[in-house]
C-alpha cells in the first residue's frame, strides 16, 4: 500500500518537473521572439530612415507647388485688375459715345 505522503510525492514531483520544463520552454521561446523582434526593429529602423529621406524630398516638392500656387494666385489677381481696367475704359468710351449721340 501507498501512504498519503508517498502519493503526494508521486503526483507532485512530476507536476513540478513538468511545470519547470514548461517554464523553461516559454522562457526559451520568449528569448527567441525577442531576438527576432530586435532584428526586425533594426531592419525597420533602416526602412524608416529611408522613408524620412523620401518625406524630406516630398516637403521640397510641396514647397515648390506652394510657390507655383502663389504665382497662379498672383497672375489671377493681375488678370482681374487688368480686366477691371479694360472694363472701365470700355465703360468710359461707351459713355462718351452715348453723350455724343
Specify whether the CB–CB gap between 58 and 51 falls below 8 A. no
Per-residue pLDDT, 36: 94
What one-character DSSP code corresponds to residue 1? -
Which of 83-101 are b and which e, b meaning 16 or more Cβ less than 10 Å from the residue's Cβ? eeeeeeeeeeeeeeeeeee
Per-residue pLDDT, 37: 93
Per-residue pLDDT, 91: 92
Grid coordinates of 64: 515648390
| pLDDT, tens digit only, all 101 positions of the chain | 889 999 989 999 999 999 999 999 999 999 999 999 999 888 888 777 777 777 777 788 888 899 999 999 999 999 999 999 999 999 999 999 988 86
Per-residue pLDDT, 53: 76
Per-residue pLDDT, 1: 82
Grid coordinates of 20: 519547470
Per-residue pLDDT, 71: 95
Which whole-number Å values give the CA distances from 17 to 12, 23, 71, in the listed order? 9, 10, 79
Amino acid at each position: 500500500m501507498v501512504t498519503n505522503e508517498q502519493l503526494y510525492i508521486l503526483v507532485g514531483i512530476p507536476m513540478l518537473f513538468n511545470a519547470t520544463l514548461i517554464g523553461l520552454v516559454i522562457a526559451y521561446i520568449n528569448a527567441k521572439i525577442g531576438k527576432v523582434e530586435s532584428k526586425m526593429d533594426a531592419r525597420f529602423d533602416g526602412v524608416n530612415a529611408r522613408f524620412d529621406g523620401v518625406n524630406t524630398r516630398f516637403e521640397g516638392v510641396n514647397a515648390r507647388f506652394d510657390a507655383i500656387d502663389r504665382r497662379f494666385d498672383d497672375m489671377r489677381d493681375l488678370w482681374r485688375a487688368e480686366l477691371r481696367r479694360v472694363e472701365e475704359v470700355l465703360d468710359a468710351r461707351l459713355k462718351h459715345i452715348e453723350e455724343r449721340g
